[in-house]
Amino acid sequence: MRLLELAALVGADAPSLSGEVEITGVASLDEAREGDVTFFGNPRYLSRLRASKASAVIVPRAFDEEITPVLIRVDNPSAAFAEVVTALTPAEPPTQPGIHPSAVVDPTAVVAAGASIGPLAVVESGAVIGENSVIGSGCLIGRETRMGRNCRLHPGAIIRERCFLGDRVILQPGAVIGSCGFGYEFQEGRHLKIRQTGIVEIGNDVEIGANTTVDRARFGRTVIGEGSKIDNLVQIAHNVQIGPHTVICSQVGISGSTRIGAYVTLAGQVGLAGHIEVGDKAVLAAKAGVSKNVPAGSTLVGAPAKPMKEWKESNFYISQLQKLYARVKELERKLGGE
């Protein structure tokens, strides 16, 4: 791809670009070489940008430092770079519709003509798979589960019985939807299992990461709202309800019956107690431990979680304890204390 073509692709300002420069690959700032394009969007990597051997770098429009690589100025370097990666990376071969001979599909299941069922996949009785959906090798679609159009289940994903998926849902390898909620009653010295009879309902355009688990409700529904993106290794317990367009990062654990609003961000390793509510557009920073309701629009940090300003103040005072201790000891010495 010529540099001017690349600039046009991402909507960059291009009057000073040389159209003769050819871009043949994409790479990080550190690994880029002649012919590669990379991107710069975080000021902490400025030294790496200055040392980069890339032929071109996608940068914010306001970037004004002169460096060796040709600068391609855009509003959002990360998004623009994603477009370039797509353009320069060979597309995946199209999946052929049909059912692989080694797949097991119950006669009562309904599989759309344009859907694809991969090797060793199992589709149980009464399941419905929508048009152009792709079921990878080794997947399980439980009985009476319904899946919309253009869904993609990567190898080893499991959806148990009676769950509902909207359109364009993506499950990464090993994701498990509809596993039993963790419910027991302690009676006569034993933990007795409580039957989990509810379902999981997943909205349109949801993506769920590898080895993430979404438990079915004890009764009623566990809900993942449309457009939400869930990372790998996340645990979502029974009867949790997650609003639309929420982002949940790796190793988050959400206890039962907790409600998460819309456009919420849960950073890595956040833990939430059960039966609490998190308001719309709240942000919970990495490793936050949340045991109480979270107001909409707030940012919480730490364990136990507290507002960002309060957390910073507490950390500041803690950092002064050693100096305070030394001052107290000096005062005791002057006053004749021990």
Catalytic residues: 238
CA 312 to mean position of chain CA atoms: 27
The H-or-E segment that residue 315 falls in is: helix 308-319
Residue 327, SS3?
A: helix
Tokens of 338: 């021990």
The alpha helices in the chain, defined as continuous H runs, are: 3-10, 46-51, 77-88, 308-319, 321-334
**In the block, residue with structure tokens 């048009």:** 131
As to burial, measured by CB atoms within 10 angstroms (0-12 exposed, 13-18 middle, 19+ buried), residue 331 is exposed
Residue 323, SS3?
A: helix
Do 129 and 121 touch, CB atoms closer than 8 A?
A: no
Return all residues near 67 (Cβ < 8 A) that are at least 6 apart. 49, 50, 52, 57
Q: CB-hemisphere CA count at 13 Å for 272?
A: 32
Which is it for strands 306-307 and 299-301: parallel, antiparallel or unpaired? antiparallel
As to burial, measured by CB atoms within 10 angstroms (0-12 exposed, 13-18 middle, 19+ buried), residue 306 is middle
Q: Is 185 left (phi over 0), alpha (psi -120 to 50) or beta?
A: beta
Strand partners of residue 238: none
Tokens of 261: 């609003």
Compute CA distances 260 → 73, 241, 272, 278, 299, whole Å: 37, 6, 10, 5, 14
